[in-house]
Structure 1
Amino acid sequence: MLLLCILFAFGSSRSYGIQQRKHSFQPPTLNDLLDSILRLMDFFSKKFDVVNVDGIFGVRLAQGEMMRALDKGNMGEYSPAIFTAEVRRKIEKIQNLAELTSTLALPVIKNRDNKYYTMFYPTIEKPWRPFELRSKRLKKMDEKYVPTLIHVEDALFNETSSDECMGSLIGTAGKRCDVNKCWDMMTKTGVTLYYTTHQLLYFQLGLQAGCQTQFEQKMSNIGGLEDILHGLCYNIVYQMETMFKQGKVNYLFQDIFLEDGAVCGSIGIRDALNVKWLEEVMTWQDRRTGCFKEAFNDAGDWYAEEYLFGKDLEKTRLQWRKRKLLYDVEMGDSCSAHKSGVAAGFLAVHIRLFLEKDVVNYHLDRFDQQSGDREFVAEQTSAAYYFLLIIAAIAIGVILTRRPKRSGLLRAVFRV
């Protein structure tokens, strides 16, 4: 029996070690998230005179999410235990700061770049509340939506052409709802990074502009509008998972990672919301200013760089940096207007992780299934382990009891 006790003690210590490691992850709370958004909105409100259109679009997206949360909360769709008076107060404050920032920034942006302001005024004149999908869970899609190894021209998506395509929908760059102008470009499959997110934004903007009929007529032979939006987000979430493959996102992809989560999360895609992604993103926020900074160095080696950019990394990195410097605005202290804007959207859509019953249940089911599988394996492994220990102990006891009398002491240990 002494030997059995020793073996069981050893087995128990191993099991306890597994249990200890299991609960090491400490996710952010809803109040942590709201405080993070408040710091970012406070930053924008103080820097309204240097923000650009992209930054204000992110502010408007966050404002739309706060309005949506307040509407649903007022209709009693959230649990009172979660949607407390303090949570409501913080959401209202975020909404008010977003409105104040936008009101102050719009005249400044117009004076600085009237052409760009005029082209995209319909996207920033009011809170951004996009069309939401009826089915919010991604399904296994056709392989055509999964990106292949990217070509440099896809990584360096032509933003000028994209701007013209957006303008052709809202009537600021040609006839309103002209879906023919950029159809091939905006329905091309297997692309990645900003190309994919701008495709999704193209359809979101068209729906906001009232172009649904034109879209559906054009899509008659390629599936419905929701099928295309699901396919784009399937692609986008696939890319996000690739970027997060090592448990963190390389600085080179932080901006696009934020944009990915914001655009798919805002139309209700549950798979674009992830508490571990949220925890990672919240570590990027500058504690002093509340902004999201941009770094332009080439240090580091990472799986997703090779996957997304192929072998010619150095050439692509240099071109990628030029793209960022051309379309971003530094708001002081290395704070990025674009990155801070998409971060506002990313953080805002993640309040759904805490408030929306269907989102919470979906992720709990996924977590339970994953942890359940791990627990089942651990339990089966533990049971098998103990079974082997018992068999080994019995075998040793039998062997020892059959040995000559000089082993009498050991025989006595196993005597019943």
Structure 2
Amino acid sequence: MNSVLIAITVLSCVSANEPKINDIISTLEKAALFFEINYDRFNLDGVSGYSILQGKLYDVSWPRHGLAHCPVSFTECMSCCGDRDPVSGSSTSFEPLLQINFWTFRPEWTRTDSTLVYPKWRVKECFEEEDSDTCMFQILGTGKDYRVPCLDTTMCKKLMTTLYCPDYSLPHQLLYFIFTEIKNCTNIVGSRHPGLRHSVSTQHLKKIYCTNMMEINLQIENDGFPVYRRDLFLENIMLCGMIGYSDFYKTRWLEAILSWQYPNGCYVKMGRSMHPKERKENAFTAHQEVKREDVLLDDNCSCHKTAIAVGALGGYLRFYGTS
């Protein structure tokens, strides 16, 4: 049994009286086995969600269960990935994301602010995937032309602080500022927006982004969780929960996420409808597809969606274990 399953088993023992936690653990056990069987077919983007789970569970303590502190170490959790060759040059630049000490999490909890919901949304995404990657590499210092972290460029500041961006642009903007905080990029301090008369701090920008990611998730829920929108829904929970927005951890959302897992442990790119209206909505267009390159396995299993589901569920465990 690999260390992921051992760690999950430990959590199960100390959480026996918590039905929701046990449901999450059962789901993660199946997802861990699915990864163990198929890890050599995952791309780096798919692996990253498991790395986030690793970091979140390491951060969990369980004082309510009679133990002052129950640290869960996952230093070997992703060891099976060490023998893998990077999928691409882009993947190589994101390899630091797989290190257990990369991800950090806010110790305190906060909530979104509905007064910050955008009064309007841009019709199109604010940037292409390649531009977003370039900005991430500049912060991480991992790109071919960016060997020093925390590079501040006019292009990236403009892209990552643009307001009213829809859908996939928002989590990319948020992730950029998560990276700046992790890398302690004190030179990246927010920006002045054309629509505002004052400078905005990075912390306030993150609140703006998570508030609007919450609004998107509520819209997705209202639409009956169409399959083609679930990856965005899960990503929003994973990232905003990571930086302490507790209102993303709604019980009804947890129940939906748990129900989407297939018996083999994966989450599918497209599949059976849960809601009547979803049957009409599953015919998606190019701008609605997952932005990050995905790998589809047998039974239409999505590496990307499975990984972010794991990351989101890890956030629920951390929330129940630290709040």
Normalised TM-score (structure 1): 0.64
Residue 38 (structure 2) pairs with residue 47 (structure 1): yes
Residue 228 (structure 2) pairs with residue 228 (structure 1): no
**Counterpart for residue 219 of structure 2:** 242
Residue 136 (structure 2) pairs with residue 162 (structure 1): no
Shift of 1:130: 2.9
Q: RMSD over aligned Cα, in angstroms? A: 3.2
In 2 relative to 1, CA 192–217 (structure 1 residues): closer, same or farther, beyond 3 Å? closer
Shift of 1:329: 0.6
What is the letter of the counterpart of residue 151 of structure 1? Answer: V
In 2 relative to 1, CA 251–265 (structure 1 residues): closer, same or farther, beyond 3 Å? same
In 2 relative to 1, CA 188–296 (structure 1 residues): closer, same or farther, beyond 3 Å? farther
Residue 104 (structure 2) pairs with residue 130 (structure 1): yes
**Counterpart for residue 320 of structure 1:** 287
Superposed structure 1 runs of 4+ greater than 3 Å apart: 217-221, 296-302, 323-326
**Counterpart for residue 198 of structure 1:** 172
Out of 270, 285, 295, the residue aligned to residue 270 of structure 2 is 295
CA contact (8 A) 1:54 1:338 kept: yes
Out of 206, 220, 239, the residue aligned to residue 263 of structure 1 is 239
Larger Rg belongs to: 1
Residue 5 (structure 2) pairs with residue 32 (structure 1): no
1:127-171: CA deviations, max 9, x gaps? 5533527561223434xx4263551445xx511111111001111
- 1:49 aligns to what SS in structure 2? helix
Q: Distance in 2 between matches of 1:236 and 1:99?
A: 33
1:77-112: CA deviations, max 9, x gaps? x2126x799xx6xx94xx64x844x222243242x3
CA contact (8 A) 2:34 2:265 kept: yes
CA contact (8 A) 2:111 2:245 kept: yes
Q: How does 1:363-378 map to 2 (within 5 A)?
A: none
Out of 280, 302, 312, the residue aligned to residue 336 of structure 1 is 302
What is the letter of the counterpart of residue 269 of structure 2? Answer: E
**Counterpart for residue 7 of structure 2:** none
Out of 117, 120, 123, the residue aligned to residue 148 of structure 1 is 120
Q: Distance in 1 between matches of 2:101 and 2:262?
A: 25
Higher helix fraction (1 or 2)? 1
Identical-pair percentage: 24
Residue 255 (structure 2) pairs with residue 279 (structure 1): yes
- 2:55 aligns to what SS in structure 1? helix
In 2 relative to 1, CA 141–160 (structure 1 residues): closer, same or farther, beyond 3 Å? same
CA contact (8 A) 2:132 2:172 kept: yes
**Counterpart for residue 356 of structure 1:** 322
- 2:115 aligns to what SS in structure 1? coil
**Counterpart for residue 183 of structure 2:** 209
**Counterpart for residue 80 of structure 1:** 65
Aligned residues: 296
1:292-343: CA deviations, max 9, x gaps? 11117999756xx7xxxxxxx97xx33136x449710113332111001100
Q: Distance in 1 between matches of 2:120 and 2:251?
A: 27
- 1:264 aligns to what SS in structure 2? helix
CA contact (8 A) 2:190 2:199 kept: no
In 2 relative to 1, CA 261–28 (structure 1 residues): closer, same or farther, beyond 3 Å? farther
Shift of 1:179: 2.4
CA contact (8 A) 1:147 1:235 kept: no
CA contact (8 A) 1:28 1:279 kept: no
In 2 relative to 1, CA 119–195 (structure 1 residues): closer, same or farther, beyond 3 Å? same
- 2:253 aligns to what SS in structure 1? helix
What is the letter of the counterpart of residue 123 of structure 2? Answer: H
Residue 51 (structure 2) pairs with residue 64 (structure 1): no
In 2 relative to 1, CA 244–63 (structure 1 residues): closer, same or farther, beyond 3 Å? same
Residue 317 (structure 2) pairs with residue 345 (structure 1): no
Q: Distance in 2 between matches of 1:199 and 1:133?
A: 22
